[in-house]
Structure 1
Amino acid sequence: MVRGKTQMRRIENDTSRQVTFSKRRNGLLKKACELSILCDAEVGVIIFSSRGKLYEFASSSMKDTIQRYRKHAKTPPDGPETQQNMENLRLEAAKMTKKIELLEVAKRKLMGEGLGSCSVEELKQMEQQLERSASIIRAKKMQVYMEQIDQLKEKGKILQAENAMLSEKYDQCLRQEPNEQREMVACRERGENLEVETDLFIGPPNGAGIRRALPPEN
């Protein structure tokens, strides 16, 4: 038989209400015990019946569990601790605002603005501070210059190596060129020494044929 969905409202019958309370109480305490064992959790359950009877379960000590709960429980929004925290935050915000204003005034003075109310000692302090800042800036600038010079030196070495390699290739080409010229001259001389017979014979090879000379080439 399929159980129907239980309506979440107060059971009006006293007997049925007591039976349901006993069953669900035992089930809740059993689940709490299983949770503490399976998950190694600290569990505490407190139940008061409608007649004021106490039922409880604690995986360790109920008193210790309650004290631990009080330490970790959230403070109500309007509690005294929350108000104290809000007051501390307001004071901290006021301090930060004052510091920002002082820093803004000091910045304007270092930029040369609003110096009318400064004493001689304050002006000396600002002068020393500016000199220290300028010294740090100059040192950083020299460092950047030296790094750039080192980079340019490295590039110069690379260019010198490439230039030497190109010069060597150029010298090799110059050494090969006279040999090629000599070979061309030799080829032309051999072509001039070759004799080509340009006479034309008509008739059988062994007979007396008619020999006709070809006209010379222009």
Structure 2
Amino acid sequence: MVKIENEDARYTTFSKRRSTLYKKASELVGKYDVDVGITLFSPTDKPYSFFHPTVDVVVDRILNPNTQPSEDNSIAIASYRNKVKDQKVELDELDIIERGISNSTFGTKETNMKNIWESFMKFNEDEVNELELWLNSIDFDLKNYLSQLENNVSSSTQAPPKNVG
């Protein structure tokens, strides 16, 4: 391997490779129901990690491969695995919708975007305001969902909460 000298290209390549590794790890988790841990350092030495179901479970598995997880960890593991399966279903549904749009009778994505834009140009002021409110709502919902996904990833790198009883 040769070091990528262009700093921007190096960061872009790192980001793409990190995303690919995370995607492949997620696929392994979904397909084979395995525990996975990845730790990476960016070109600026910023650490990145992916652990499923949690960092503690993965490290415990490495240190004690023949030991079964505790009851608390088993519950947390099952919960994390269900979250991953639910999110995979959602992503698959979005993929189907995207393919449906791109393969629609309207033609190519460019043609679809042109048709959508042309329909926007026919809106009156009230319709434009309504569309703006709707887009702001969608923007808010997407940012909220992204935040939830990021929190799920960061929480999966922490120990599961203990049941207080």
TM-score by length of 1: 0.28
More relative contact order, 1 or 2 (CA 8 Å, 6+ apart): 2
Larger Rg: 1
